Amino acid sequence: MNGILAIALISVRNAIRSKIVMVLLAFLLITLIGLPLTLQGDGTLPGHVRVLIRYTLGLATLILSIATVWASCAAISTEIRDRQIQLVVSKPVRASQIWLGKWLGLMAINVLFLMLCFVSTYAALRGTTTPDRWSDTEIEQLHTEILVAQYKLAPQPRDVREEVQRQYRAARARGEWPEEIPTQEVLPRIERALRTQANSVPAGSSNRWVFNVPHPPPDDRPLILRYRFSLSVMDLDPVSGSWTIGSLQASHRQVETFEQPPRTWHSVAISPDRIEDDGTLTVEFANHADRTVTVIFQPDEGLHLMVYAGGFLMNYFRAGLLILFHLSFLAAVGVTAGAYFSIPVAAMTSFYALLLINAARFIGRIAEGTASGGHGHAHGPHGGWFQDAIHLTSHLVHRGLYAVIRPLESANPLDYLVVGEWIPWTEVGYMFGVKVVLYSGILMVLGAWHMARKEVALPS
Amino acid sequence: MTPSPPQTATTIAEARDLVKVFRDFWHRPKVRAVNDITFEVKRGEVFGLLGPNGSGKSTTIKMMLGLLHPTSGYLRVLDRSPDDVKTKARVGYLAEESYLYPYLTSEETLHFFGRLFNLNAKQREERIDQLLDMIGLQHARRRVVGEFSKGMARRIGLAQALINDPDLIILDEPTSGLDPLGCRQVKDLIRALARRGKTVLLSSHLLADVEDICDRIAILYNGRIQAMGSMHELLEQRNRYRVTLPEELAPDQLQRVLDEIRSVLGAEPDIDHPRLDLEEFFLRIIEKARNEVESQSGATPSHTLASYLSAPPS
Amino acid sequence: MNRIVTVFLPCALGLALLWGAGTLHAPLLEARRVHDLDHAEPLENAPPLVVFSTVALGGFSGIIADILWVRAAQLQMDGQYFELVQLADWITKLQPRFPEGWIYHAWNLSYNVSVMFPRPEDRWRWVRHGIELLRDGGLRYNPAHPTLHRELGWLFQHKLGASMDQAHMFYKLAWALEMERIFDGRGPDYAALAQTPTSRTAVLQVPGMSELLAQLREEGFEPFTYRWPETHRIPVMRNIMRDHEAGSVLLNHIRLRMMVDRYRLIPSRMQEIEAEHGPLDWRLPQAHAIYWAWSGLPHADGFEEQMMSRMIFHSVSEAFQQGGFFYDPDEELFIPGPNPDLLPYAMRALEEALEEFDDDAMRAAHMNFLNNAMIIMYTHHRIDEARNLFDLLHTHYPAEAEDRGFDQYVIELFTDRLDQLGPQGVSAMIDEWLHQSHFWLALGDTDRAAGYDRLARQTWRLYMEPRLHDPDLRERTGLPPISDIRRRALERVRESLTTQTARDRLRNGME
């Protein structure tokens, strides 16, 4: 333990002495001070706060990430280059201790600077959202919509299985689908159509959704219904409509009429006492458009309910933890790469690895694509075994790669913060397990294993 | 001249048929740096590896430290593999150049290495104090080693090699970069360590160093041991004699002795005045000058061995 | 063999690539020149971000701008707008000499994004962002680029000036209020501004200035920020200035600096424009459309020149028809309307255009203009001018007026032939005009009151004339006495007024 701490301390001092790391950290300071002073936002308070959080913390995280990768790549490789490692390796420390010491040192720097980033951004946030600069309504809006932690609820999905089967039988009976089209191709289409239909409201009619609210918020915290719709026509003219919220008894209803354009987010504040005793909340949308236009809510997240779950600061802290875990993973990648290669090669390797991780979804799609391509013989009879082999290899490579990087895929925690969305502790715990324990651990094993075998005193 | 040979002849390190081949990027053999060497280092002796640059001395030492892995052959240090941390815990190592962290002070450097040996703070404090006294860098305690002269850095290197009170001290070119004064101090120190019962393995290409302090040596050239044995065995010319007469000999007494020799041998003996070697002469001059001007520059060692450096159990 | 692989092949490859790159060099340089991508002239007085992006980032600024642009497009597609202004700002500042960037983003903010917001004040903010991006950014770095001038003019002419946007009245009012604060009326007092010192040092040397400044600062005003205090405090500041002899100098200095620095309006240029195109009302967007087109004209040729000339012509014509302005904060009324003083200028612009493009469409436009102008002049009670227009119409398009007299022709421009309208229709029309007449009277515009009054009376007379001598016809299709209709209209106007001043004006006017 003593040895690990000593190495950690040295790794801190090494990082601080790196010119590149210092330049990056200087950038970080400029960002933290300069950016909040020059940000424009869109002239509204929520816009200002969102831009502040997203760009100040986003840029700071980016700089910290680059600095971390660089410093971690340098951590072991420069000591090999400058041969200090020879004195260290000749002492009774295991390779894993050296790795861990380097990693812990970098994490100490990251914790320090991340704290600086989060504290100074919070200070900037407080300093620029004072009542003398913004109206009371805007400040109120800020505190109910952004500076909170709300969890996001989707409406209960409608059970369409029976309806799908019924329509399928009817369509077959009418001969709408030729026999050669297999059932498993038809059913999803019908289901998709039904789901879209369940989220559509034609002119003059209405549609109802039910939310299950497991933990109702305190009485002074309204629920926020956020929605965005598109139209069956190609224009952006506003549509008039109304929301009826709560049960059908008149005393429990809240009616909001509006005239709003499509394709942008709107919200309605709902008093928590509209929630029924069984924990459900019913909302009904009526389309009052005076023209033939159907309102369509995007099935994925065109309509959701934001429910107060806690204060902003704790959420902000959790976002910080998520970023820290990511940095810890980056540090692990860099330290291990530095154990294998010299700095420039290690840095390129690390950045390439990170690029792959960021392209996870793309790689996943390639994996899917090659899966069907391998069997499809789409290229005619001349493809033959050779093409099949290429397809299969490509498929396996991408599948394998995707399997490795998939667990690392995660939403940007800042995306949660800017919409005031609750970051669950489970997410924090999961990311800790994946990025810090599992992946950093695997990287440590790889790095230490190589270091233990490596001859650190080879003549140059 | 040479100290008495060790009483116990336990083997501290042993190499048999040791080979090290360096390979290039494509893994093709490039250099056979160590070529089938066999030797033993016994407890309590000062063993020297002597040879010109590139003869395989450093490579051998680095294999003994686990910094390089033998291509083939047998190598044990303190009865274990050199890679074993338990071995490393009992070895002190001075590299051929001081690979220290330039931004740490003398004190921080020694603390760092002390921590790697898992010494607690109190132990470290005590030992560092004594070591700094011993190498005469007490005054440079808080100076960063990056600013040090080569000689001062070597001393710190030596101090870190001793911080764990090692049983085996491996010194790669211990006197390189030192001025004659420093050379002498280091050599004195090695002799003192040997007297304390420490086993020392050193490499050097400076013949005088080796001759002054080693009990046994191996001469390497081109990766092979060309000669090995005790200093005495190797250098003694058994069929030649040197007679040292008492100092204040009157000229007529000398004449009588010579006449006697002539009569016995029937030949003329060589006769000249004994000379100081240059090192001896130089040190005397410096010693005299130092007594006149109390110089503050450089290092002024205490000449006393750090007391924690223990004798190994016999 | 190994030597060939490790040494010669890489060298050969390197040389081949170098040669390849070398052959591309000349065409690339040529392409740079042709597409005007040379950023050779140094930027002066640019903010640090711009200097950094153009100097330090070099060619990478383009890549960063592209990444940000992609992000902006993505966000816009997702319906998230709050970052767009920031992104547009960064994108344009990363490539300040790329006019299309400024144009696209200004247009995007003003047109695409603004309409996504239901509230007019939100919309106006986005339209403003677009204007500011072009005016304060694009034109600053590309002062001689004609398209930037035209685009800025277009925002004023079309987004603010026309009525295509649901919130256009809000934009007009917001802009008018902003301009009113600066000009304190229709437009700047050029003579006073010409006398006004431009520098702060010169202002400080005006006698009595230090006392005035001390008094202002004591009240919490800092004039040299060149920003107005909160709305309700402006009169307080004005009062202090009015009581001081140095006050008018200071006020004019602030106005001048705000015009030049903030709105980039140069008084001498405004004066030139007015000399050419008549006494414009600078509170209305048409004047600004003319201003920006006029500013861009010296840099334009070919298509751009033609477009800007047309913009000026259209805007002058618009300024005559819509470039007047009535605002009564007490009655909460904002009514943009015609500016009859501009008739001769609009006429001249039209005639010039007619000379240049003599075709059917242009003649139709000319005739429409004469008709509209006639209505405007008539309702502003400038009967002689309206009659001149009628004569002109008669000369140019004799078939139009046919057998009808002047008054009848004007009345029937509003509607069909009176005979076909029936008594209810005519009565309703007279009622409406009398209502208008009294309304304007209450608001203090006696000309327009008289114009509508004449319109109402002439309509009554024209309709009733054939019926005066035909009691039977009068019985079946006659109108009530005009005094009855007037009483009802007066009653309605009275009920709609909220202030005593307006009621007093109405009463005095009636007397």
Q: If we measure between CA atoms, which residue out of A54, A65, A73 comes closest to residue A28?
A: A65
For the CA atoms of chain B, what is the radius of gyration?
22
B36 Rama sector, left if φ>0, alpha if ψ -120 to 50, beta otherwise: left
Alpha carbon of A60: minimum distance to chain C alpha carbons (Å): 16
pLDDT of residue B41: 94
pLDDT of residue C1: 59
Chain B residues lying within 8 Å of A453, measured CB to CB: 69
Q: What is the mean pLDDT of chain B?
A: 85
Identify the residue with better confidence: B58 or C166: B58
Chain-centroid distance of CA B86 in Å reads 23
B100 in contact with chain A, both atoms CB, cutoff 8 A = yes
Binned at pLDDT 50, 70 and 90, residue C7 comes out as confident
Exposure pattern of B161-173 as b/e (b: 16+ CB <10 Å)?
A: bbbbbbbbbbbbb
Alpha carbon of A96: minimum distance to chain B alpha carbons (Å): 12
Count CA within 13 A, CB hemisphere, residue A314. 11
Alpha carbon of C216: minimum distance to chain A alpha carbons (Å): 21
pLDDT of residue C54: 66
Mean pLDDT of all residues in C206-226: 87
pLDDT of residue A104: 95
- C149 contacts C309 by C-beta, under 8 angstroms: no
B105 in contact with chain A, both atoms CB, cutoff 8 A = no
Nearest C-alpha in B relative to A98: B116
pLDDT of residue C60: 77
Taking each helix axis from N to C terminus, what angle separates C482-496 and C446-468, rounded to the nearest 10 degrees? 150
Q: How many CB atoms lie within 10 A of CB B221?
A: 14
User: What is chain A's length?
Assistant: 460
| 8 Å CB contact of A42 and C117 | no
Q: How many CB atoms lie within 10 A of CB B257?
A: 15
Residue B300 has pLDDT above 70, yes or no: no
Burial class (CB in 10 A: 0-12, 13-18, 19+), C239: exposed
Chain-centroid distance of CA C312 in Å reads 12
Query: Using one digit for the tens of pLDDT, what is the confidence trace for C83-132?
Result: 888 888 888 888 888 889 899 999 988 988 888 787 888 889 889 999 99
Give me the residue from A38, A259, A265 closest to C79, CB to CB. Answer: A265
| 8 Å CB contact of A264 and C116 | yes
Chain A residues lying within 8 Å of C117, measured CB to CB: 261, 264
| 8 Å CB contact of C82 and A228 | no
pLDDT of residue C422: 80
C12 in contact with chain A, both atoms CB, cutoff 8 A = no
Chain B residues lying within 8 Å of A9, measured CB to CB: 112
Tell me what percent of the residues of chain C surpass a pLDDT of 70: 95
Count of helices and strands (H, E) across chain C: 28, 2
Chain A residues lying within 8 Å of C118, measured CB to CB: 238, 258-261
Chain B window 163-192: which residues touch A at a Cβ cutoff of 8 Å?
Answer: 164
Distance CA A103, CA A440 (A): 9
Give me the residue from A40, A43, A259 closest to C118, CB to CB. Answer: A259
Q: Where are the beta strands (DSSP E) in A179-312?
A: 200-201, 206-212, 223-227, 229-231, 239-245, 254-260, 266-270, 280-287, 295-297, 303-311
Give me the residue from A6, A17, A458 closest to B116, CB to CB. Answer: A6
Distance CA A456, CA A159 (A): 64
- C111 contacts C159 by C-beta, under 8 angstroms: yes
Binned at pLDDT 50, 70 and 90, residue B5 comes out as very low
Chain A residues lying within 8 Å of B65, measured CB to CB: 86, 89-90, 457
Chain C residues lying within 8 Å of A238, measured CB to CB: 118
Burial class (CB in 10 A: 0-12, 13-18, 19+), C503: middle
Q: Where are the beta strands (DSSP E) in A274-323?
A: 280-287, 295-297, 303-311
Residue B280 has pLDDT above 80, yes or no: no
Domains assigned to chain A: 2-142+312-453 (no CATH), 161-308 (2.60.120)
Query: Using one digit for the tens of pLDDT, what is the confidence trace for A192-245?
Result: 888 878 888 888 888 888 899 888 888 888 888 989 888 887 777 788 899 988
Alpha carbon of A444: minimum distance to chain B alpha carbons (Å): 19
The dihedral sign for the CA sequence C233, C239, C240, C242: positive
Give all chains having 3 or more CB-to-CB distances under 8 Å with chain C.
A
B67 in contact with chain A, both atoms CB, cutoff 8 A = yes
The residues of A whose Cβ lies within 8 A of any Cβ of C are 38-44, 46-47, 50-51, 54-55, 228, 236, 238, 258-261, 263-265
Q: Interior CA angle at C142 toward C137 and C146, to 5°?
A: 110
Give me the residue from A87, A458, A459 closest to B99, CB to CB. Answer: A87
Give me the residue from A2, A90, A456 closest to B91, CB to CB. Answer: A90
Give me the residue from A51, A228, A261 closest to C86, CB to CB. Answer: A51
Q: What are phi and psi of A268, to 5 degrees?
A: -130, 130
Which run of H or of E encompasses C248? helix C247-257
What residues contact C240, with CB distance under 8 A and at least 6 apart?
C212, C215, C216, C219, C221, C247
Give all chains having 3 or more CB-to-CB distances under 8 Å with chain A.
B, C
Give me the residue from A93, A453, A456 closest to B116, CB to CB. Answer: A93
Token duo for residue C213: 């400044």
Burial class (CB in 10 A: 0-12, 13-18, 19+), B285: exposed
Q: Which residues of chain A have pLDDT under 50?
A: 373-380
Give all chains having 3 or more CB-to-CB distances under 8 Å with chain B.
A
Alpha carbon of C399: minimum distance to chain A alpha carbons (Å): 42
Identify the residue with better confidence: C470 or C256: C256
Q: What is the mean pLDDT of chain C?
A: 84
Residue C38 has pLDDT above 70, yes or no: no
- C280 contacts C318 by C-beta, under 8 angstroms: no
Token duo for residue C448: 């327009």
Identify the residue with better confidence: B102 or C413: B102
List residues bridging with B11 in a β-sheet: B42
Exposure pattern of A289-315 as b/e (b: 16+ CB <10 Å)?
A: beeebbbbbeeeebbbbbbbbeebeeb
Amino acid at the residue A447: G
pLDDT of residue A341: 93
Give the 3-state secondary structure of residue C385: helix
Distance CA C83, CA A56 (A): 13
Which run of H or of E encompasses C379? helix C360-379
Mean pLDDT of all residues in B246-275: 83
pLDDT of residue A325: 96
Q: If we measure between CA atoms, which residue out of A256, A214, A163 comes closest to residue A424?
A: A214
Residue C213 has pLDDT above 50, yes or no: yes
| 8 Å CB contact of B88 and A91 | yes
What is the count of residue pairs from A and B with beta carbons less than 8 Å apart?
A: 79
Q: Which of A91-105, B52-66, B151-165, C421-435 has the lowest mean pLDDT?
A: C421-435
C80 in contact with chain A, both atoms CB, cutoff 8 A = yes
Domains assigned to chain B: 11-237 (3.40.50.300)
| 8 Å CB contact of A5 and B115 | yes
Chain A residues lying within 8 Å of B85, measured CB to CB: 92-94
> Which letter does DSSP use for residue B269 in this model?
P
Mean pLDDT of all residues in C251-270: 92
- C253 contacts C197 by C-beta, under 8 angstroms: yes
Give me the residue from B68, B91, B112 closest to A6, CB to CB. Answer: B112
pLDDT of residue C236: 86
Residue C49 has pLDDT above 70, yes or no: no
What residues contact C379, with CB distance under 8 A and at least 6 apart?
C436, C448, C451, C452, C455
Give me the residue from A86, A90, A455 closest to B88, CB to CB. Answer: A90
Give me the residue from A84, A86, A452 closest to B101, CB to CB. Answer: A84
Give the 3-state secondary structure of residue A180: coil
Q: Interior CA angle at C68 toward C65 and C70, to 5°?
A: 110
Alpha carbon of A226: minimum distance to chain B alpha carbons (Å): 57
Tell me what percent of the residues of chain B surpass a pLDDT of 90: 44
Distance CA C401, CA A221 (A): 70
Nearest C-alpha in C relative to A133: C230
Q: If we measure between CA atoms, which residue out of B85, B82, B204 comes closest to residue A457?
A: B82
Token duo for residue C109: 């903010």
Tell me what percent of the residues of chain C surpass a pLDDT of 90: 14
Tell me what percent of the residues of chain B surpass a pLDDT of 70: 92
Distance CA B227, CA B223 (A): 12
Query: Using one digit for the tens of pLDDT, what is the confidence trace for C153-207?
Result: 999 999 998 888 888 889 998 998 889 888 888 888 898 888 888 888 888 888 8
Query: Using one digit for the tens of pLDDT, what is the confidence trace for C309-341?
Result: 888 888 888 888 887 777 777 777 778 788 888
- A281 contacts A213 by C-beta, under 8 angstroms: yes
Tokens 């702060």, residue?
C200
| 8 Å CB contact of A87 and B93 | yes
Chain B window 22-41: which residues touch A at a Cβ cutoff of 8 Å?
Answer: 22
pLDDT of residue B296: 46
Residue B113 has pLDDT above 50, yes or no: yes
